[in-house]
Amino acid sequence: MGNLTLHEVIHEFWHGITHTDKGILNLLKSLFFTPKEVYFGYFSGQRKKYFSPVTFFLIATTIYIFLKIRIFDFQDYLFNYGDEMGRLLIETTKFKSIYLIPLEVLITWLAFRNKSNLAKIIVFWLFLNGFIFCIEILATPIFFALINYKIVIDKLFYLICLGIIFWHLKLVFSSNKWHDYLKLFIIVNIVFLLDYLISGYLLFGEKIWFYTKSENLFQLLLNGYKSII
């Protein structure tokens, strides 16, 4: 036992990411190919088999924000395109998640509280949000290569992410009955609208109505749907 060194800290961090049995890379691969196994394995008590959902979410969020800011820097460098609004939106992601995840958990619990307890739903959303951030992280080279089409790619990936949310919700909470599918559809739409509203409030505060050119809540939400079309 000697004094703790920087080398040992870096080694432990890297080991935590790449560890064959329960590193982030193994978790990410499992969430891609066998997501249902990850969720139900963790729910059933196989905690040591998987990377911590809290740590996974925090690491994914941090890397996502860092890389997204680099994409804006690259865009500015090439085109002198000062999208400060978009940059600020990315920087507020960490604050948005603080508000959004509890709301995601709440609406899912209200819809499926007879099938799952609150703890499982919290773990589900931590894993899922971390996974979505990782997908965008892996897509970073596409943004750099097709920087001229960044807005289009942003919209495309947002739609893909909504599809992933629906798919993962179905895997964990649906019993393939029509009313479950209706609940899933409603949850995905509420998540989208909450994301839009929270992002708008963090960016504009009480001036959200002015900047989004909305006169009422219905028009504000409609503008949210238009933003991804």
Residue 229: pLDDT band (50, 70, 90) is confident
Q: Half-sphere exposure of 73 toward its Cβ, with a 13 Å CA cutoff?
A: 6
**Higher pLDDT, residue 95 or 168:** 168
Is the pLDDT at 80 greater than 90? The verdict is no
130-163, pLDDT tens digit by residue?
999 999 999 999 999 998 888 889 899 999 999 9
For residue 4, the model assigns a pLDDT of 43
Say which residue, 82 or 221, is predicted with more confidence.
221
Q: At what angle do helices 24-33 and 6-18 cross, to 10 degrees?
A: 10
- pTM equals 0.85
Give pLDDT tens digits for 83-119: 566 667 777 776 788 889 999 999 999 999 988 889 9
> pLDDT per residue over 187-205, tens digit each?
999 999 998 888 888 877 7
- Residue 29 predicted with pLDDT over 80: yes
Q: What is the pLDDT of residues 4-27, one digit of tens each?
A: 455 544 554 455 555 444 578 888
pLDDT band at 228; cut points 50, 70, 90: confident
The candidate with the shortest Cα–Cα distance to 162, out of 194, 117, 139, is 194
pLDDT (tens digit, 9 = 90+) per residue, 44-62? 888 778 888 888 898 898 8
DSSP string, 2-51: ----HHHHHHHHHHHHH-TTTSHHHHHHHHHH-HHHHHHHHHTT-GGGS-
Q: What is the mean pLDDT of residues 79-83?
A: 66
